[in-house]
C-alpha cells in the first residue's frame, strides 16, 4: 500500500528526509503468462472470425483477386472465370425432317445442311454442366452457320430450347423463337447468331434439349442457297 506523507508546520524536516531515502525507486517489469489467465475458452469477442469456421458472417464479405489456389475469392471472380459455354458440334445434331445431310466443307469443317425451300430440322441434346446447376440466370442458344451462296437475303429459322430435370416430361415447356436471319455476305464464312429464346436455370436441371429449324417454305425465306449449321452454342448468362 502506498504511504501518504502530509506536510505540516510541526513535521520535522529530518524525518521527511529519512523517509524519502527509504523509498524504493526501482522499476519492476511485470509480465503475464496468457496461458494462466482465466476465461480463455470464453467466446466473448463476436466481432472476430473463428479459426474453426463455425461463426457465420452477418454481412457480405469483400476481398481481392486471388493469386493462389488456397486463397478465398469472390462470386464475381468465380462467375467471370467459370466455364459458361457448351458447344454442340454438327456431328451431334440429329435430323428428323428435311432431305439435308452431314457433309464436310473445305475438307475441314463438318456441317449439317438445311436446304432451300424445305422445312429441315436438327435436334440437339446436351448435359447441363455441373457448375451451372448452382447458378441463377438463363441459358441461350447460339447458332453457328454459314452458307454456300454469298447473299444477305434472309433465311427464316426457329430455335426451340428447353431445360429438363429428373422427372420432367420430354415434351412441352420449351421456349422457341422464329427469326429472319441475314444470310452470309461471303459464302462459307461462319456467322454467329444468338436467338432470343432462352430458358431459366434451376438447380435440378440436368439436360438442355431443343432443335433448330429452317422454315424454307416461308415466303420470307429468300436465301436461295443451302444453310450450313456448324453447331449450337449453349451459353449461360
Q: How far is the C-alpha of 230 from the C-alpha of 234, rounded, in Å?
A: 13
Q: How far is the C-alpha of 164 from the C-alpha of 138, rounded, in Å?
A: 13
Q: Quick one: how far is CA 73 from the chain centroid? A: 13
Q: How far is the C-alpha of 53 from the C-alpha of 45, rounded, in Å?
A: 15
Q: Could you say which DSSP state residue 130 is in?
A: G
Residue 18 has a pLDDT of 61
Please state the φ and ψ torsions of residue 155, each to the nearest 5 degrees: -115, 140
Please state the φ and ψ torsions of residue 27, each to the nearest 5 degrees: -85, 135
Instruction: Write down the H helix ranges in 55-161.
Output: 75-81
Residue 93 has a pLDDT of 95
Is residue 217 over pLDDT 70?
yes
Residue 101 has a pLDDT of 95
pLDDT per position as a tens digit, 120-170: 999 999 998 888 877 778 888 899 999 999 998 999 988 888 888 888 877
Q: Could you say which DSSP state residue 100 is in?
A: -
What is the value of pTM for the model shown?
Answer: 0.65
Residue 189 has a pLDDT of 87
Summarize the confidence of residues 215-230 as an average pLDDT: 91
Higher pLDDT, 219 or 40: 219
Please tell me which of 68-77, 85-94, 180-189, 199-208 the model is most confident about, judged by mean pLDDT: 85-94
Domains of the chain, earliest start first = 84-236 (2.60.120.260)
pLDDT per position as a tens digit, 158-199: 888 888 888 887 766 567 777 888 888 888 888 888 775 667
Q: Please state, rounded to an integer, the average pLDDT across all residues of the chain.
A: 81
Summarize the confidence of residues 70-78 as an average pLDDT: 72
Residue 13 has a pLDDT of 56
What are the Cα distances from residue 33, in Å, to 39, 40, 45, 96? Answer: 13, 12, 20, 81
pLDDT per position as a tens digit, 95-111: 999 999 999 987 888 99
Question: Contact, 116 vs 224, CB < 8 A?
Answer: yes
Amino acid at each position: 500500500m502506498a504511504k501518504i506523507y502530509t506536510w505540516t508546520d510541526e513535521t520535522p524536516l529530518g524525518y521527511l528526509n529519512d523517509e524519502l531515502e527509504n523509498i524504493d525507486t526501482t522499476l519492476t517489469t511485470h509480465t503475464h503468462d496468457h496461458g494462466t489467465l482465466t476465461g480463455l475458452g470464453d467466446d466473448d469477442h463476436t466481432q472476430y472470425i473463428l479459426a474453426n469456421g463455425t461463426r457465420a458472417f452477418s454481412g457480405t464479405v469483400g476481398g481481392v483477386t486471388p493469386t493462389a489456389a488456397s486463397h478465398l475469392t469472390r462470386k464475381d471472380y468465380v462467375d467471370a472465370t467459370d466455364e459458361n459455354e457448351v458447344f454442340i458440334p454438327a456431328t451431334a445434331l440429329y435430323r428428323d425432317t428435311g432431305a439435308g445431310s452431314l457433309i464436310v466443307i473445305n475438307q475441314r469443317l463438318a456441317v449439317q445442311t438445311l436446304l432451300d425451300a424445305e422445312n429441315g430440322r436438327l435436334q440437339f441434346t446436351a448435359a447441363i454442366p455441373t457448375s451451372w446447376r448452382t447458378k441463377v440466370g438463363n441459358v441461350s442458344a447460339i447458332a453457328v452457320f454459314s452458307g454456300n451462296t454469298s447473299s444477305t437475303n434472309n433465311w427464316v429459322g426457329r430455335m426451340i430450347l428447353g431445360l429438363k430435370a429428373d422427372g420432367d416430361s420430354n415434351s412441352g415447356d420449351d421456349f422457341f423463337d422464329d427469326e429472319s436471319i441475314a444470310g452470309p455476305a461471303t459464302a462459307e464464312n461462319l456467322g454467329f447468331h444468338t436467338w432470343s429464346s432462352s430458358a431459366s436455370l434451376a438447380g435440378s436441371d440436368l439436360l438442355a434439349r431443343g432443335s433448330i429449324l429452317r422454315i424454307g417454305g416461308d415466303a420470307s425465306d429468300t436465301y436461295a442457297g443451302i444453310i450450313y449449321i456448324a453447331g449450337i452454342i449453349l451459353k449461360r448468362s
